Amino acid sequence: MDMTKVHLAAFADEVSQNLDEQIAAMSANGVEYLEVRGVNGKGVASLTPDEAKNVKDKLAAAGLSVWSLGSPAGKSDIKQDFAVEAEQFKHLLETASITGAKCIRLFSFYGTEGKPEYHDEVMLRLSRFVEMAKGSGVVLCHENEKGIYGDIASRCAEIHTAVPELKAVFDPANFIQSGQQTLPAWDMLEKYVYYGHIKDCLENGTVVPPGKGIAHMDQYLPRFFAKGCNVLTLEPHLQEFFGLAGLEAEGEKSKIGMYHFNSSREAFDCAVNSLKDILKGI
């Protein structure tokens, strides 16, 4: 694969909560975009306008920019009042505007367990997000995540059929951890995918460096690029990092630690280099 045609982004909060350290790791590894999730101890949904501008300005000074907001939108229980989500989402749209984010990733609610009785409410809420984002120029992207309505490919397809303005973030490890094999998921969702998350795991859900698991990245990534997609966000999950526990449903915990690293930066470097090795072979 011609690396000049691939644009790498990252959840660099897996290196450090400190923005300067995130930027240093990105610059050293040729990662040009940040998917903003955690900065200086705060989640992206909590950033003030001044803090959001500081993120943009610091990245720009290093020749980098924001690709997406790794937002928590829709990562709440379906029984909670949507008014709280709506207010948070308004703020996220403002943050996207300030930072120049092209996308906002979002989810399809915990507590649904894929049950048909939640279908209409999930689609209604996702449609509300889409309506709120109209005219913003921001692309809303649903991420498949274990424990939400859109955890497996068939229910993700339901979402994209019902809410066609919503694009997909393809996360292979999340599918595997939900009992969904990657390649059938890709076949079902390819036409909806806007960008990808790079995270690999074993059949038992243990997260490993890209290419060391059963995500079959070498098989679906050529089709990813062939359809015109060119942005991949690294989400290593190879070592404990600040905020990891808050990214999953209560009682869920990603299995990590099979590979030993001396630091979060070393784990991040490994993930980037492993992905580059895959891309060289495509």
pLDDT tens-digit profile of 266-275? Answer: 999 999 999 9
Mean pLDDT of the residues in the chain: 93
Query: What band does 175 get if pLDDT is binned at 50, 70 and 90?
Result: very high
For tokens 């404990």, name the residue.
240
Q: By mean pLDDT, which of 210-214, 247-251, 278-282 is the weakest? A: 247-251
What is the reported pTM?
A: 0.92
Find out whether 237 and 256 touch, Cβ atoms under 8 Å.
yes
246 CB burial (10 A radius; 0-12, 13-18, 19+): exposed
**What integer pLDDT is reported at residue 84 of this predicted model?**
96
**What integer pLDDT is reported at residue 239 of this predicted model?**
77
Rounded to the nearest 10 degrees, how much is the dihedral formed by the CA atoms of 102, 264, 268, 252? -70
Phi, psi of 95 (to 5 degrees): -65, -40
Is the pLDDT assigned to residue 80 strictly greater than 60? yes
In angstroms, the CA 213 to CA 226 distance is 23
Query: What band does 247 get if pLDDT is binned at 50, 70 and 90?
Result: low
